Structure 1
């Protein structure tokens, strides 16, 4: 049970749940996902709508994140030089590979997706900035936890692994083989472990040997072939080298703890 200020925690839970959704949520869905009673959550939603942190569509009766959240996010990125620098490199990656590029950081046992650059492809990866996914299934996550011990991983997932697809890693022994491969190859792979129609490749970003984030490229299975994979891996590794050279000229980054 959290010892924080409960009214504030409820607001944060609502915003976090909405940030992970593409299609909006009803009052009932928000109540179920946050486990906040309807009578309690409704006045919170009303206030957030009034201050434009969320929007309410009268026709669909669904709630969405609002413009005020977008402005806060934009302000944060504009004041963070290193995030802007990584974003520029992500744009370059998309220009080279013509596939979506995403950036994530560790948030406990999950990867928190904090940036995304779409490609010009007609078929796009459906994902949201603000989404959290288990690190053990995500290429981004594996790129950041490959040095974790078995004990550290077990502590992150005390109830064991809950696969998202039939391809998701299911045991610690299986995951260890994947993490060893990350160490050997310098990149991580999510082979349909989160979405059965997508394969993802990722590399970690280090500042003076401290992993602070990771970037990835996701490819729909129908577009994947050996030349495409080789191009993506080469581009990611080259971009990582440029990013880390610049990161090492900056003060220590304490982005998310």
Structure 2
């Protein structure tokens, strides 16, 4: 396993890998000896993992994997399902191949990109997986935020919006709330140069079987292209 810049994190992964590979639960002493770790460090890490239910301890003080890992696995599987849906949609509608199309999810007050299909013409903005931007300035972020109550949105930002990324961004709550009301009616959001000057993004959200917004999808293009996007009207999210 490659090391990180955080020694404590390296030790945590070493412990989890050892417990995972073992055919039976392990004691703290065995873990420390097997990995050559100080007993004090091993104890502290095990206690932290226990508190989060990442591992469990049996009556004989032996450790094994906990149920919280199932939560991670379920979320990963759910996320991968959305990514596959994203890829299938692009193939289903060839008109999307001409543009930059992104898939993202809402993480508190930010949008995290999960996948991206790049257009033949670079937009000058990085949409690669893992990149985060303020949700209030992105098309997908606005779309997903529109499914929340205003009180929930205010709690994300504590009544203060992030610093605008361009001159098109606004930190005035009433103006943004008015825009959100329009998005709630249409399910379509617009980033008119708020992430990058001259770049427009049209977005919407993807709902699961329960009707909850689980991801957002957007088509990005240069402002001058906005008059030639009639083909996108046939796309159904």
Say whether the fold is shared (TM-score over 0.5). yes
Give 1:142 deviation, angstroms.
0.7
Matches within 5 A, 1:190-205: 190-205=191-206
Conservation of the 8 A alpha-carbon contact between 2:83 and 2:103: no
Which whole-Å CA distance do the structure 2 matches of 1:215 and 1:87 have between them? 11
Conservation of the 8 A alpha-carbon contact between 2:90 and 2:97: no
Deviations 1:203-247 (A, max 9, x none): 10001311100110001113221x41x433x244x1x1xxxxxxx
> Do structure 1's residue 126 and structure 2's residue 149 form an aligned pair?
no
> Do structure 1's residue 90 and structure 2's residue 90 form an aligned pair?
yes
> TM (normalized to structure 2)?
0.62
Which whole-Å CA distance do the structure 1 matches of 2:199 and 2:170 have between them? 15
Aligned length: 164
Deviations 1:15-48 (A, max 9, x none): xxxxxxxxxxxxxxxxxxxxxxxxxxxxxxxxxx
Partner of 1:220: 222
Secondary structure in 2 matching 1:224: helix
CA gap 1:146/1:81 in 2 versus in 1, 3 angstroms: closer
Task: Please give the root-mean-square deviation of Cα atoms over the aligned residues, in Å.
Answer: 2.6
CA gap 1:137/1:181 in 2 versus in 1, 3 angstroms: same
Conservation of the 8 A alpha-carbon contact between 2:200 and 2:222: yes
Give 1:7 deviation, angstroms.
3.2
Structure 2 segments unaligned to the other structure (5+ residues): 1-5, 13-75
Which whole-Å CA distance do the structure 2 matches of 1:6 and 1:172 have between them? 42
Conservation of the 8 A alpha-carbon contact between 1:125 and 1:218: no
Give 1:91 deviation, angstroms.
4.0
> TM (normalized to structure 1)?
0.57
Which whole-Å CA distance do the structure 2 matches of 1:92 and 1:118 have between them? 16
Which whole-Å CA distance do the structure 2 matches of 1:163 and 1:186 have between them? 23
Which whole-Å CA distance do the structure 1 matches of 2:205 and 2:145 have between them? 9
Conservation of the 8 A alpha-carbon contact between 2:147 and 2:213: no
Matches within 5 A, 1:73-84: 80-84=80-84
Conservation of the 8 A alpha-carbon contact between 2:203 and 2:219: yes
Partner of 1:187: 188
Give 1:159 deviation, angstroms.
6.2
Conservation of the 8 A alpha-carbon contact between 2:109 and 2:156: yes
Which whole-Å CA distance do the structure 2 matches of 1:180 and 1:171 have between them? 15
